[in-house]
């Protein structure tokens, strides 16, 4: 078996109408992905990158969905400091791929608020086994990002649950903004034009991925003047409006059966101070989404609870128009040590959504079901 230079399997992130096939290594190398004889390079304006740990090849979804296999290709860099770079022979690793089904049941697992917990989210996320179609890593994957090695947790979790064989949706949570190297998160995660918010189409699912940034105001003392999320959210508002203006190619496109909003924080719920921020802005987002996108449901974490919030319920502050699945719960003992983790398995079956809260032993600790309507 090949002595692979990568820390684990690649992660196939879905963003826009492309997959970003990413892999992390401590070996200096050149990286590209081959699909049906066509190469997709990790390059900067025509120069292949090697002075980095995280590599990214962006491939059209339709190409990989059709091929159902891809090859990670690389050359180890022996020297690049002299006038003539020296590289090794081409090495290759083949992977199979399963796109989200166009029809029939769709199995999704959400792991939010993993907070770099050792193994517990990995175990909970294996609920569907090989029948998993889509993994959603919905924020606070990290606790703090202080060192480059902290980013490896994302790939170890993704690799354990997908083996590079199915798509992943990644969202950024408030804790993912924290730590000395948080500014480098975009190098290790899917972005479009440098931005961590976008729409995505997978089979008959259309989803809007939102980034709420931090959970307190920018001048909150814990952030030490290092964030500017208010202006970031204003830009995101413009993005939502552009999505609505282009609805025929987005949520109203032919073949869309499920419309989802995915964000780490449930945007329709306002908490007590100091977390009661952006009420006007989140009200605007809610209105735009309710009146135009009309989602079938929303997926969130952040609150460390297991609940499906219905319109008008106790968690509905701003007037949600659909169920909001809030599902992630690290479980602590009396010494405040995390001893278990509960995530969320979802089954989309035509007009019904089944929600199963599952722990690290694959036990169902709660369930809910709701119907979706246009």
23-60 pLDDT tens trace: 999 999 999 999 999 999 999 999 999 999 999 999 99
Alpha helix ranges (H) inside 7-52: none
Q: What is the pLDDT of residue 1?
A: 44
**Tokens 């339709």 label which residue?**
62
Structural domains of the chain, ranges and CATH numbers in brackets: 21-96 (no CATH), 106-371 (3.60.21.10)
Taking alpha carbons only, the member of 203, 185, 202 closest to residue 194 is: 185
Find the helix or strand (DSSP H, E) in which 77 lies.
Answer: strand 69-79
pLDDT tens, residue by residue, 130-184: 999 999 999 999 999 999 999 999 999 999 999 999 999 999 999 999 999 999 9
3-state DSSP percent of the chain in helix, strand and coil, to 5: 20, 35, 45
The answer to whether 9 and 163 are in contact (CB under 8 A) is yes
Confidence of residue 374 (pLDDT cuts 50, 70, 90): confident
Tell me the whole-structure pTM to 2 decimals.
0.97
Kindly state the tokens that stand for 86. 């020296």
Strand 134-138 versus strand 167-171 pairing type? parallel
């Amino acid at each position: 078996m090949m002595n692979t230079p990568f820390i684990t399997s690649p992660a196939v992130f879905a963003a826009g109408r492309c997959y970003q096939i990413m892999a992390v290594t401590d070996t200096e190398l050149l990286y590209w992905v081959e699909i049906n004889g066509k190469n997709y390079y990790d390059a900067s304006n025509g120069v292949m990158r090697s002075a980095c740990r995280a590599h990214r090849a962006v491939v059209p979804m339709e190409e990989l969905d059709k091929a159902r296999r891809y090859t990670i290709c690389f050359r180890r860099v022996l020297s690049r400091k002299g006038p003539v770079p020296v590289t090794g022979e081409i090495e290759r690793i083949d992977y199979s791929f399963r796109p989200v089904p166009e029809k029939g049941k769709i199995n999704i697992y959400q792991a939010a608020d993993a907070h770099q917990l050792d193994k517990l989210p990995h175990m909970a996320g294996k609920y569907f086994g090989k029948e998993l179609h889509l993994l959603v890593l919905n924020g606070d994957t990290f606790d703090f990002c202080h060192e480059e090695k902290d980013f490896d947790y994302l790939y170890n979790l993704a690799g354990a649950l997908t083996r590079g064989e199915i798509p992943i949706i990644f969202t950024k949570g408030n804790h993912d903004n924290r730590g000395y190297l948080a500014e480098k998160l975009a190098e290790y995660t899917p972005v479009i034009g440098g931005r961590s918010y976008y729409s995505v189409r997978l089979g008959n699912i259309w989803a809007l991925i939102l980034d709420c940034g931090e959970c307190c105001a920018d001048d909150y003392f814990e952030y030490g003047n290092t964030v500017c999320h208010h202006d970031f959210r204003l830009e995101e508002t413009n993005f939502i409006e552009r999505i609505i203006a282009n609805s025929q190619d987005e949520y109203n496109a032919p073949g869309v059966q499920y419309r989802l909003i995915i964000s780490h924080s449930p945007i329709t719920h306002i908490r007590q101070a100091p977390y009661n921020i952006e009420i006007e802005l989140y009200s605007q987002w809610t209105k735009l989404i309710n009146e135009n996108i009309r989602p079938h449901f929303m997926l969130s974490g952040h609150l460390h609870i297991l609940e499906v919030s219905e319109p008008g319920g106790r968690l509905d502050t701003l007037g949600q128009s659909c169920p909001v699945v809030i599902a992630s719960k690290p479980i602590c003992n009396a010494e405040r040590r995390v001893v278990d983790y509960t995530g969320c398995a979802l089954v989309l079956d035509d007009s019904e959504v089944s929600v199963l809260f599952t722990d690290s032993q694959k036990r169902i600790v709660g369930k809910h079901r709701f119907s979706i309507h246009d």
